[in-house]
Amino acid sequence: MTTAIDFGTSNTVIARWNQASQQAETVKLPEITWQMHQTAPLVPSLVYVEDASQGKVLVGQAVRDRGLDLKSDPRFFRGFKRGIGQNVQGFLPELDGKEVNFEQVGNWFFSQLVSSLRQIQLPVESLVL
Among residues 111, 18, 1, the alpha carbon closest in space to that of 57 is found at 111
Distance CA 60, CA 58 (A): 7
Average pLDDT, whole number, for the chain? Answer: 90
- pTM of the shown model: 0.90
pLDDT digits (tens, 9 = 90+) for 51-73: 999 999 999 999 999 999 999 99
Distance CA 26, CA 127 (A): 14
- Mean pLDDT (whole number) for 83-100: 82
Choose between 43 and 119: higher pLDDT.
43
